[in-house]
Amino acid sequence: MALLGKAGWSATENPAEADLIIVNSCAFIESAKRESLNAVFAWRKQYPGTKILLAGCLAQRYAAELSLSLPEADGLFGNTSLEGIAAAAAALVPDSTSGGESPPSLQTCTSFGLPLPPPPGGSAPKPPQALPGTRPLLSPPGSAYLKISEGCNNRCSFCAIPLIRGPLRSRDITGISAECRTLLDRGIRELCVIGQDIASFGDDRPDQGDLPALLEAIAAIPGHFWVRLLYLHPDRLPLSILDIMAADRRFLPYFDIPLQHASRPLLQAMNRRGDGEHYLDLIQKIRTTLPDAVIRSTFLVGFPGESEDDFAQLLDFQEQAALDWAGCFTYSREENTPAYPMKNQVPRSLAAKRKRMLEERQQGISEGRMERFVGRELEVLIEERFTNPEEGAGGLYLGRAYCQAPDVDGVSLVHSETELIPGALIRCRVNGRAGFDLRLQPTAKADG
For residue 269, the minimal CB distance to ligand SF4 (Å) is 13
Nearer to ligand SF4, 52 or 229 (CB): 229
Residue 131 Cβ vs ligand SF4, minimum distance, rounded to whole Å: 23
Q: How far is CA 78 from CA 23, 114, 419, in A?
A: 11, 6, 44
Q: How far apart are CA 4 and CA 49, in angstroms?
A: 21
Cβ 167 to ligand SF4, closest distance in Å? 10
The 8-class DSSP code of residue 3 comes to H
What is the SS3 assignment for 440?
Answer: strand
**Which C-beta is closer to ligand SF4: that of 151 or that of 253?**
151
The helix/strand/coil state of 32 is helix
The DSSP letter of residue 439 is E
Q: Distance between CA atoms of 436 and 408, rounded to whole angstroms? A: 12
* CB 196 to ligand SF4: min, Å: 4
DSSP 76: E
- Site for ligand SF4, rule CB under 6 A: 152, 154-156, 159, 161-162, 196-197, 233
- Shortest Å distance, C-beta 147 to ligand SF4: 14
Least distance in angstroms from the C-beta of 103 to ligand SF4? 34
* Element (DSSP H or E) covering residue 357: helix 348-370
Q: How far is the C-alpha of 423 from the C-alpha of 141, rounded, in Å?
A: 4
Minimum separation from the CB atom of position 384 to ligand SF4 (A): 31
CA-closest candidate to residue 263, choices 279, 251, 281, 252: 279
Q: Coil, strand or helix: which one is 197?
A: coil
- Smaller CB separation from ligand SF4, 161 or 438: 161
Please say which residue, 238 or 422, places its beta carbon nearer to ligand SF4. 238
Residue whose CB is less far from ligand SF4, 5 or 117: 117
Rounded to a whole number of angstroms, the minimum distance from the CB of residue 206 to ligand SF4 is: 20
**Residue 155 vs 205, nearer CB to ligand SF4:** 155
Exposed/middle/buried for 291, CB within 10 Å: 0-12, 13-18, 19+?
exposed
Nearby residues of 427 by Cβ (< 8 Å), 6 or more positions away? 377, 378, 379, 380, 442, 443, 444
Measured from the CB atom, the residue of 197 and 383 that comes closer to ligand SF4 is: 197
End-to-end CA distance of the chain: 28
CA gyration radius, the chain: 23
Closest distance between ligand SF4 and the C-beta of residue 318, in Å? Answer: 19
DSSP 3-state of 413:
strand
Q: Give the sign of the dihedral formed by CA 35, CA 192, CA 83, CA 173.
A: negative
Q: Which is nearer to ligand SF4, 212 or 338 (CB)?
A: 338
Return the number of the residue (161 or 426) whose C-beta is nearest ligand SF4: 161
